[in-house]
Structure 1
């Protein structure tokens, strides 16, 4: 009779636009633009808990289990057409048909980012997957090639899968490769530079005129170049002016902000300044990827949440995660052919 089914061995299916919660796990109803699927019930509950904790809206959460019928290809075909979904994140232990997956994912990923966490990437993990969902072990290098051909962004951990899913719909698509770091802490600037290199991001070679423009706003003992080190003793206005310059200059394509906690510019003051200037330029039709690293006392947690709520990925106590999510956006944009080698 043409009836399709999901499973067996699953926790259920959520589809928030229709207020559907067909699962034996806790209900979830925060609507958003991310669809997530997992072969594992435990990972599925992790997805649900993370979504609730971060207030990440989802369009759907799907348990795939042993995939006797519906598999990742079917989900991608559905979410490709689903106007409520802008990004798809998949946890998988195996692929039943790698060729079919590549064919579908190549088409979908040109329109919407696809993030994949391939479990069982090591011999020990592959053995565990075989007993868990009867997943067939495979050489991870082969899977890596398959996923690369498919144009998907590969996550290497559950946390990466979740953070990429959370941030990719939020970050505007970059128009070029030139990344600039603006930081109030020189040490953060060094670590952020390392993270850029490790995540395939290109730090812009600062032209003389742009270097001089930044130097107008920072003290003589600060450092332009890239990173732009405005130093720690600067007031909120210095952050405002340098970020505005970064947004205004067309040669700069993305910004990474490094903040550290001072009494001159407390965390929430920094967060309000950043969100205000970003919103001002959004109003002018200028939207660039912008992420932030916040170092300081516990108040940086509230400030990071404030920025996230306003569409700016921001992480306390880290100089890596925000660069990883920006790097993921760049990887997707390159594979989808949206950058075309633009360097400005």
Structure 2
């Protein structure tokens, strides 16, 4: 009854009515169907889901779902979902097999003001699945990073083939749920997923150049941080910290994430750093400027780290003091990084901030200005840097 040409139909009706409505869409020559209703394969209604697949093949309709929340595509202001409209446009595309995880993705992205190009629910994957999305986002100029949550992969070989190619152009991040026996059993009852052996998934993802996230929070942190960081030009990393304890933890995190500290520090570079730090500080690597130093000490040491071509990335450890308040540190770091960028010195910089609640505002300011920063964590910023390095190595850029 609807006049004119229709691109996509969004289904938000009881499951028992979906098949007949899908046929009507086929007769109308609608190319795509967003199947929000549940009550199909995930509940044991395999026959009902297979009927939808037959109709889709008969009328050449691509199916998304069933059992999904829909999808967003922000470049076209498209909100084909029962969720609220999304208003932070960017270059990260995210997908989830689970509706609940999808809502977490939406909430985190909105809270962190993370710009996204798309958020997509896949649900039971009766037709469109992860490798279909990779094919689309590979060609999408609005997308630079792809992050996916999956409970299973319908065709692991097809996914690996596509992911290996796409990941050389754009970082692909995957959170594979159901990696334990209990998790796999829960996945089967949730979306009808057959989770498979985790060791096989781990090998497939690694060989395909996909960054594997260990948790939902890590998936979201990687999706937010990886596109912010420039691609490193080498492996040598220097830690500059105002707190010796942070330097120790940041060093541990580097080892945990496959990152290489510049060691031993070349004599001339060691001497150059020592010019800016007190006698009781430590050069080497980490460069410990100590806690009582004024803002200029952070500025001078970070400037040196950005200027010297033997250093390829910086990890900053800030300690909250009255001498260098959090926002003073943050604004100075943004200023010096931008000054060096204007001179062609572009390097990944991440920051860990330790202190009272004021460090939260400073971390947000740093992030909004291109420096992934976290209050109260020495692990997360290094994990994000490690993910960027993992992608750069797999893509043949290092």
For 1:85 and 1:33, the matched residues in 2 are separated by 4
Deviates more, 1:277-286 or 1:153-162: 277-286
Partner Cα separation in structure 1 for residue 62 and residue 302 of structure 2: 52
From 376, 389, 397, give the equivalent of 1:317.
376
Match of 2:9 in 1: none
State which of 326, 332, 344 in structure 1 corresponds to 2:391: 332
Shift of 1:59: 0.1
Alpha-carbon offset, residue 29 of structure 1: 2.1
Using the alignment, how far apart are the partners of 1:326 and 1:99 within structure 2? 29
**Equivalent in the alignment of 1:22:** 80
Does residue 101 of the first structure (1) align with residue 134 of the second (2)?
Answer: no
Q: How far does the alpha carbon of each residue in 1:138-193 deviate from its partner, in whole angstroms, 9 at most, with x for none?
A: 11001101111111000010000000000010001111110100001011000100
1:150 to 195, 208, 214: 208
Equivalent position to 2:298, from 239, 242, 249: 239
> What is the CA-CA distance between 1:30 and the residue it aligns to?
1.1
Structure 1 residue 284 displacement after superposition: 1.1
Structure 1 range deviating more: 86-95 or 281-290:
281-290
Cα distance in 2 between the residues matched to 1:312 and 1:32:
17
Partner residue in 1 for 2:112? 54
Normalised to the residue count of structure 2, the TM-score between the two structures is: 0.85
* 1:5 Cα deviation from its structure 2 partner: 1.4
Pairing 1:275–2:349 present: no
Structure 1 residue 326 displacement after superposition = 0.4
SS of 1:288's equivalent? coil
How many residues get paired? 339
Tell me how far apart the structure 2 counterparts of residues 5 and 330 of structure 1 sit (CA, whole Å).
36
The answer as to 2:286 corresponding to 1:250 is: no
d(CA) in 1 for partners of 2:168, 2:192: 31
CA distance in 1: counterparts of 2:73 and 2:190, whole angstroms: 26
Q: Report whether the alignment pairs 1:193 with 2:193.
A: no
Q: Which has the larger radius of gyration?
A: 2
1:173-212 equivalences under 5 Å are 173-205=231-263, 206-212=265-271
Runs of 4+ in 1 over 6 A off after TM superposition: none
How far the C-alpha of 1:137 sits from its partner, in A, is 3.0
- The answer on 1:293 being equivalent to 2:352 is yes
How far apart in 1 are the matches of 2:249 and 2:87?
Answer: 38
CA distance in 2, matches of 1:148, 1:262: 42
Higher relative contact order (CA 8 A, sep 6+): 1
List per-residue Cα deviations over 1:278-320 (Å, max 9, x = no partner): 0101111211000000000100000000101101000001111
Quote how far apart the aligned CAs of 1:26 are.
Answer: 1.9
Question: Which residue does 1:342 correspond to in 2?
Answer: none
Q: Aligned partners of 1:250 and 1:183: how far apart in 2?
A: 20
Secondary structure of 1:291's partner?
Answer: strand
Give the structure 2 partner of residue 64 of structure 1. 122
Quote the Cα distance in structure 2 between the aligned partners of 1:150 and 1:67: 21
d(CA) in 2 for partners of 1:176 and 1:95?
34
Structure 2 unaligned residues grouped into runs of 5+: 1-58
**1:168 to 2:246 alignment:** no
Q: How far 1:243 moved relative to its partner?
A: 0.2
Q: Does 1:214 align with 2:273?
A: yes
Moved more, 163-172 or 137-146: 137-146
